[in-house]
Amino acid sequence: MHIGKEIHQELKRQGRTVVWFAEHMCCDRSTAYEIFKKETIDTGQLIRISRLLKKNFLESLMKEIDSDVEKYSTNM
């Protein structure tokens, strides 16, 4: 899961702009675009983004982890 892409897709799905996102994250647009490029992200920052966009990105990551654990445990 590429977390930055997931965040950007959710932002678009909600019809929000990068300017809106940057203002609410207290950063500039270039920093917002850097977030969208990240494959991984600090959990504290992800919690802030989850609250802002009202979407639990941590839950999505946990589902991916659970799937990976199940896949690897059946291969052993």
Domain ranges of the chain: 3-74
Fold of the 3-74 domain:
434 Repressor (Amino-terminal Domain) (1.10.260)
Distance, in Å, from the CA atom of 53 to the CA atom of 67, rounded to the nearest integer, reads 25
Would you mind telling me the total number of residues written for the chain in this entry?
A: 76
Global pTM reads 0.84
What pLDDT shows up at residue 76? 61
Q: Is the pLDDT of residue 61 over 70?
A: yes
The pLDDT tens digits for 13-56 are: 999 999 999 999 999 999 999 999 999 999 999 999 999 999 99
For residues 63-67, average pLDDT: 81
More confident residue, 1 or 25: 25
Residue with structure tokens 């965040």?
7
Token representation of residue 75: 């291969």
